[in-house]
Structure 1
Amino acid sequence: MAIDDQRFFYPEYVSHFMENKTTADYIDGFSVHWYADTIIPPAVLSETHDRFPDKFILSAEASNGFLPPDKHGDIGSWERGQAYANDIIDDLNNWSSGWVDWNLALNINGGPTYIDTFIDSSILVNATAQEFYKQPMYYAIGHFSKFIPENSVRIDLSPSIEQLPIVAVTTPEPANKTVLVILNKFDNSQSISFQDGSDYINLNLEGKSITTVIF
């Protein structure tokens, strides 16, 4: 995997070294980190795919709490779980074939670390109390992992709904279902309707929630 860095390098820097056939032959895909995702739109990943459709894109590193003054774990933070869910949807909708969290587990201070990069993790371990805490980030990742199995294929939605991030996929055989994962970032409930062929469904999404619909 080439790049292994931020969206800043997509697609122009990718194109620069892909012009060299010897270099390009060593590359199966591109690895992207999430730390600049609030600055650079996910469309740069789609632009990269359009230029090099035979190469995969993998969202390969993410963590919350990497910027001061929030460089620490934040037990129970829905906002951080929501940020993960929103980014997963953005990346999947722009040709990322998967999404990887940086840390499996850290202590409640966001370590251990040897370069003072204290950050958050989906699971925080309180060794003193012999407890571990599964964060909203953990459940956000788990939600997508549960309902979007390996070899699912993303499909388009028409029209797209900017206020409610949604990703839609078809699952592989034998299930062969249409799955939609929807993020409601609003405090209040939101109503939405979907149609897939002859199937029609109305939903009332709870405030601050992740919802899955399966046709």
Structure 2
Amino acid sequence: MKTKFYFLTLFLIAMISCTQVDNKLNVTVYETSEAGNKLTPISTFTSDENASIITLNPKETFQTITGFGGAFTESSAYLLNKLSKKNRDTILQAYFAEDGANYSLTRTHMNSCDFSLNQYSYSPVAEDMELEHFTIKEDMDDLIPMIKDAMKVSKDGFKIFASPWTAAPWMKDNKKWVGGKLLPKYYDTWALFFSKYADAYKEEGIDIWGFTVENEPHGNGNNWESMHYSPEEMTEFVQHHLGPKLEADGKGDLKILGYDQNREGLKEWVDVMFKDEASSKYYDGTAIHWYESTYEVFPEALQYAHNKAPNKYLIETEGCIDSQVPVWQDDAWYWKKEATDWGWDWAPEKDKHLHPKYAPVNRYARDIIGCLNNWVDGWVDWNMVLDTKGGPNWFENWCVAPVIVDPAKDAVYFTPLYYTMAHFSKYIRPEAKVIGLENSDKELQVTAAQNTDGSIAVVVFNEGKTKKSFKLLLGEKETLVNIDAQALQTIMVSTIKN
């Protein structure tokens, strides 16, 4: 009798063990933290009876991901050419290799911008209405080689869209690089400019995916290259000039993104851009920036823009730690609320509350998660590489990039911002679908997306000063995860076979 009882006990223990194994969710956890982790695999977790619950729902799907990445600027490309081949290759591998951040969506500038070495245009000859003297020679030394080398590194390839800061002064009403508007008599010439640019880059072996019509059409306080549009003026240009020209030249597949500035102005722009079928025809989506606030995501504006054009792109095309000199090789600074932005000094009094001091990592993590949870399908950082001063920048508009270099010493610093971007770009791949979830801990910021291979990437950000625990649930399977204080995690859930 005792023998039977003994074997029955063993059988029950085995059954319970099998059930526990069967219910175990197979995950790999990567963490970047204030304590020093940098995309570090985490595998040991301690139980916590107070663990919150995050429940995934892959059956509830939202937007399709276009990609994540950064911008090719002349400043970044110039700096890469100042480094040793070893360090140049290290940076390009870190951004574009499969075992690096694996960037999939990128931006570059047409003509010069503030992160150029000087001011220039591809149409240097005044009144050249047919752009017979069009040339991209200014890009040949630095910018184009950087893009080509990135293409060699990237296994899956990446999309690249281009943005003009301004037309040449001779096309504008104020005849200056800064401010002013494109004269209507040059609308056709400016549309031709986009077409010629795509041809010129294609001749260099670079396929352009699309354009934003104008970087920051509201201007930038009359500081560096800019050109102003109202929503009506931009839509007139796109509807009757740019769209038809690209279509006539066999480039109708090139994407056109309107607006390209801060989110608070979204409503008035999308109301005009997507007013009716005619105005919407050539717009493929909307481009946005994050400079309206150091902490606010503006979810209502994002939701409004999506609902206005639910089948079109909504892409964050620029965000960076602006108006700030980088802090060299001090990871701790990027986790502290010590950074200030342009609005700290210059925002109108009524908007000052939107620009408190902030921690750079927090700003990136909460914004990308907030965007993904509000229909944004792509998120593009600004400069990939800057120097220890935050340039070069001809206007001395210093900013921070995820990778900082000191060319004089051939030194490279991968800031925590690099790892923050990689938590998204490396694991949430193009064509992934953002999925539904329920999160019982409102202090944890969470988003999730299912890749085309079936894997699910869950990104969790703990902005607080206290370590937390949560159970991650998917169907009948679960796993316990601990997340450190001030930490960002990507949890990769393996494909579950039914």
Q: TM-score, normalised by structure 2?
A: 0.40
Residue 322 of structure 2: which of 65, 75, 88 is its match? 65
More strand by share: 1
CA distance in 2 between partners of 1:59 and 1:31 (Å): 6
CA distance in 2 between partners of 1:165 and 1:113 (Å): 35
1:85 counterpart SS class? helix
Are positions 1:212 and 2:490 aligned together? Answer: yes
Residue 309 of structure 2: which of 24, 39, 52 is its match? 52
CA distance in 2 between partners of 1:142 and 1:21 (Å): 38
Residue 468 of structure 2 corresponds to: 190
CA distance in 2 between partners of 1:72 and 1:110 (Å): 5
Code of the residue aligned with 1:129 in structure 2: it is K
Larger Rg: 2
Residue 83 of structure 1 corresponds to: 363
Over residues 125-159 of structure 1, what are the superposed CA-to-partner deviations in whole Å (9 max), with x where a residue is unaligned? Answer: 11121101111111100111111112110011124
Are positions 1:112 and 2:392 aligned together? Answer: yes
Unaligned runs of 5+ in 2: 1-256, 336-358, 494-498
User: Is the contact made by 2:321 and 2:360 (CA closer than 8 Å) also made in structure 1?
Assistant: yes
Residue 27 of structure 1 corresponds to: 283
Q: Which runs of 4+ in 1 moved over 6 A?
A: none
1:20 deviates by 4.7
Over residues 37-61 of structure 1, what are the superposed CA-to-partner deviations in whole Å (9 max), with x where a residue is unaligned? Answer: 4356223112211221111100110
Residue 125 of structure 1 corresponds to: 405
CA RMSD of aligned residues (A): 1.6
Code of the residue aligned with 2:437 in structure 1: it is L
Residue 139 of structure 1 corresponds to: 419
Are positions 1:14 and 2:270 aligned together? Answer: yes
Code of the residue aligned with 1:30 in structure 2: it is T
Residue 148 of structure 1 corresponds to: 428
Residue 445 of structure 2 corresponds to: 165
CA distance in 2 between partners of 1:80 and 1:134 (Å): 14
Unaligned runs of 5+ in 1: none
1:93 deviates by 1.0
Query: How high is the sequence identity, in percent, across the aligned residues?
Result: 27
More helix by share: 2
Code of the residue aligned with 2:475 in structure 1: it is G
CA distance in 1 between partners of 2:284 and 2:399 (Å): 30
1:32 deviates by 0.4
Over residues 2-35 of structure 1, what are the superposed CA-to-partner deviations in whole Å (9 max), with x where a residue is unaligned? Answer: 0100001223321123215433112001000011
CA distance in 1 between partners of 2:283 and 2:371 (Å): 20
User: Is the contact made by 1:3 and 1:9 (CA closer than 8 Å) also made in structure 2?
Assistant: no
2:464 counterpart SS class? coil
CA distance in 2 between partners of 1:11 and 1:197 (Å): 38
Structure with greater contact order relative to length (CA < 8 Å, sep ≥ 6): 2
CA distance in 2 between partners of 1:143 and 1:158 (Å): 21
Taking structure 1 as reference, are residues 107 and 81 closer, same or farther at Cα in structure 2, changes over 3 Å only? same
CA distance in 1 between partners of 2:376 and 2:399 (Å): 24
1:151 counterpart SS class? coil
User: Is the contact made by 1:81 and 1:138 (CA closer than 8 Å) also made in structure 2?
Assistant: no
Code of the residue aligned with 1:72 in structure 2: it is V
2:322 counterpart SS class? coil
Code of the residue aligned with 1:177 in structure 2: it is S
Code of the residue aligned with 2:325 in structure 1: it is H
Q: TM-score, normalised by structure 1?
A: 0.90
1:157 counterpart SS class? strand
User: Is the contact made by 1:81 and 1:135 (CA closer than 8 Å) also made in structure 2?
Assistant: no
Residue 180 of structure 2 corresponds to: none
User: Is the contact made by 2:369 and 2:446 (CA closer than 8 Å) also made in structure 1?
Assistant: yes
